[in-house]
Chain A
Amino acid sequence: MATFGDFHHETGAGWSVYWRIPVFSGGGLEIWWADFQGHRVMWRGSQPFAIVPYHGGSPTYKDGVDAQCGGAPFTTLKHGAPNSFAPWKNPGPYIAGADTDAVVVTTTPAGDFDPATLVITAKFQCGWYQYVHRWEFTSDGDIHPSVAMGGHLNPNKPSVAHIHSMYFRIDLDIDGQYPHDVCEEFDHNNFSAAGDKWTALSAQGKQLHDIARARKWRVRSTTSQNNLKQFRAYEIELPRMAGPDKYSTGDVWATIYRGDGFQFGENVGAACTDEELTTSYAVGPLHPATTGDDIVLWVVVRHHHEPRNLGEEADHLPYHYEDFSIVPRSFIDVHSATGGQ
């Protein structure tokens, strides 16, 4: 048993999930082999890096995996470490000596208003900041990845606004049938009968959100069907409070699996931007009409942070969560109340 880097198994809310905090990536919590009701949904998911540009042209930190530009790797904290500047000033008592000191797993039964959930959470020190990585799995089959910002404002720029662009790498494998998935983009064009349209992407690349079109994305199997002969799929629903900018240039990148030992956000950030995701990660064709592909998505969650340094954030940053959803479509089998179809 290693202190870090092992896979830990959890079950709950109909899910079987492994988590891991790697030994040397600096990229935080990873979720592996998320299966819902006996079917593989996700090979791996993580939020390995963030890009944080400040108003005024500098700094622009790259935090997490392969940190640079003045940023810092994510250092694993004990789950009870305070949300304050203390773990930055004096890390000794707060740094987790083992991954099990950091990760908290909770299961909650279904209630009157919510499905049952399995939630896996850990927090990380990153300079004066803290990031919380949280993955919620529900008995409806949803995955809600989220990230919170906490800790302390930049001591030398406490009043300067900045944007946290936080990058998730999502490797969905619908029913484990890789490499036979397609990546599709949804647009609500108008209210006519055929006003909604799913379009398969024919090449890897950067995708932009379009709120007016209710845009979303999905990874759909071309081989695995549910019992109503529908191809199984999972959709990405991405809320938006801030758009792309010159540092964080897209919303979603469609790319393919190139191994689990690289392509985790390393070599991104040479110019303190995400341009390498477009120029060296999401490059090459996709094959929606023939074989399908092993799709890997990068998804950005973004928060424009206008510091409340003269008020609520003077002492520490109350944890502020941003999230998105990964939602099944025709993934589960349908059984009627009488037992037939």
Chain B
Amino acid sequence: MKKTEMSEATKALEAAIAPLKDKEAHAAREAATKQLATELSKRHRILGVELRVEKPAHSAAPKRQIAVLVVDYTQRRVIEVLTADGRVIKVSDLDGFQPAPIPEEIEEAQDLAQADERLARILENDDVFVSAFSPHRSAERKDREIGLRYAISESARDIRILAEAVVDLSDLKLVHVENFETGERD
């Protein structure tokens, strides 16, 4: 069945696109960490590891590649390390791009925000919940910023966003708070 539907070009890809093995992911992380060891600041994090397939030139066999995405908070860099066979083949700065925040980053942002008295007070209400968003950015600022919305719900028809905050994980500080109930903002 599969053999009549699948093109020859796709059959040629099968080895390159097979599911990622733990061992490979681990080797890619190791290679990326080693490669960047001297240039990364202390405050960096590996956001993820995944397969990468680039369109091969027609004469070439497709390569199995694994990408490691690293964020360096202090240096305000998002770096992609491309590996093959456990060796680094390319390092690129993804300038201006902010990948989706991972849960650990959102938690870190929430902890920082909670230190603010105004936001801590809002959280005293058990019906309040917090969700992340992606704040406005300007071309000059490359800080890793996480937005947090504080909302309250008593029912589906009665949900209000009480406040918004933006936490800068590069500088480890709260950079914006707006209370929609009182109109206060800074």
0/1 interface trace, chain B 73-95, chain A, CB 8 Å (1 if under) = 00000001010000000001011
Q: Is A67 an interface residue (CB 8 A)?
A: yes
Q: Is A245 an interface residue (CB 8 A)?
A: no
Chain A contacts of B135 at CB under 8 A? Answer: 68, 70
Chain A contacts of B53 at CB under 8 A? Answer: 32, 260
A66 and B98 within 8 A (CB): yes
Chain A contacts of B54 at CB under 8 A? Answer: 259-261
Smallest Cβ distance from B184 to chain A, in angstroms? 16
Chain A contacts of B101 at CB under 8 A? Answer: 73
Q: Is A192 an interface residue (CB 8 A)?
A: no
A2 and B19 within 8 A (CB): yes
Given contacts A23-B50, A26-B100, A73-B100, contact A2 B25 (CB under 8 A): yes
Q: Is A274 an interface residue (CB 8 A)?
A: no
CB within 8 Å of B: which A248-265 residues: 257, 259-262
0/1 interface trace, chain B 144-175, chain A, CB 8 Å (1 if under) = 00010101010011011100000000000000
Q: Is B35 an interface residue (CB 8 A)?
A: no
B129 and A84 within 8 A (CB): no
Q: Is B60 an interface residue (CB 8 A)?
A: no
A67 and B50 within 8 A (CB): no
Given contacts A35-B6, A68-B134, contact A261 B159 (CB under 8 A): no
Given contacts A2-B19, A152-B159, A262-B94, contact A68 B99 (CB under 8 A): no
0/1 interface trace, chain B 2-22, chain A, CB 8 Å (1 if under) = 101111111001000101110
Task: Please pick, from A5, A36, A62, the residue contacting B50 in the complex, using a CB distance under 8 A.
Answer: A5
Chain B contacts of A35 at CB under 8 A? Answer: 5-7, 9-10
A37 and B156 within 8 A (CB): no
Q: Is B34 an interface residue (CB 8 A)?
A: no
B100 and A25 within 8 A (CB): yes
A24 and B50 within 8 A (CB): yes
Chain B contacts of A294 at CB under 8 A? Answer: 55
Chain A contacts of B137 at CB under 8 A? Answer: 68, 270
Cα-based distance from A128 to B131 in the complex (angstroms)? 9
Chain A contacts of B37 at CB under 8 A? Answer: none
Q: Is A336 an interface residue (CB 8 A)?
A: no
Task: Please pick, from B5, B102, B149, B161, the residue contacting A16 in the complex, using a CB distance under 8 A.
Answer: B5
Q: Is A6 an interface residue (CB 8 A)?
A: yes
**Most B C-beta atoms less than 10 A away, residue of A2, A69, A127:** A2
Q: Is A22 an interface residue (CB 8 A)?
A: yes
Q: Is A144 an interface residue (CB 8 A)?
A: no
0/1 interface trace, chain A 276-297, chain B, CB 8 Å (1 if under) = 0000000000000000001000
A18 and B17 within 8 A (CB): yes
Cα-based distance from A107 to B68 in the complex (angstroms)? 35
Q: Is B142 an interface residue (CB 8 A)?
A: no
Q: Is A186 an interface residue (CB 8 A)?
A: no
Cα-based distance from A236 to B101 in the complex (angstroms)? 34
Smallest Cβ distance from B179 to chain A, in angstroms? 12
Given contacts A1-B20, A260-B53, contact A24 B69 (CB under 8 A): yes
B20 and A16 within 8 A (CB): no
CB within 8 Å of A: which B30-61 residues: 47-55
Chain B contacts of A324 at CB under 8 A? Answer: none
Considering only CB atoms, which chain A residue lies closest to B101 in the complex? A73
**Most B C-beta atoms less than 10 A away, residue of A5, A40, A262:** A5
Considering only CB atoms, which chain B residue lies closest to A88 in the complex? B131
Cα-based distance from A1 to B20 in the complex (angstroms)? 5
Q: Is B136 an interface residue (CB 8 A)?
A: yes
CB within 8 Å of A: which B82-121 residues: 82, 92, 94-102
Considering only CB atoms, which chain A residue lies closest to B159 in the complex? A155
Cα-based distance from A155 to B80 in the complex (angstroms)? 37
Considering only CB atoms, which chain B residue lies closest to A63 in the complex? B134
Given contacts A5-B20, A23-B48, A156-B161, contact A85 B5 (CB under 8 A): no
Cα-based distance from A71 to B100 in the complex (angstroms)? 11
Q: Is A4 an interface residue (CB 8 A)?
A: yes
0/1 interface trace, chain A 118-141, chain B, CB 8 Å (1 if under) = 000000000110000000000000
B7 and A127 within 8 A (CB): no
Chain B contacts of A270 at CB under 8 A? Answer: 137-139
Chain A contacts of B25 at CB under 8 A? Answer: 2
A2 and B50 within 8 A (CB): yes
Residues of A within 8 A of B (CB): 1-2, 4-7, 9, 11, 14-16, 18, 22-26, 32-33, 35-40, 43, 62, 66-73, 75, 84-85, 88-91, 127-128, 152, 155-156, 175-176, 178, 257, 259-262, 266-267, 270, 272, 294, 314-316
11 sampled A-B residue pairs with Cβ under 8 A: A2-B20, A2-B50, A24-B48, A67-B133, A69-B134, A73-B100, A260-B52, A267-B95, A267-B97, A294-B55, A315-B157
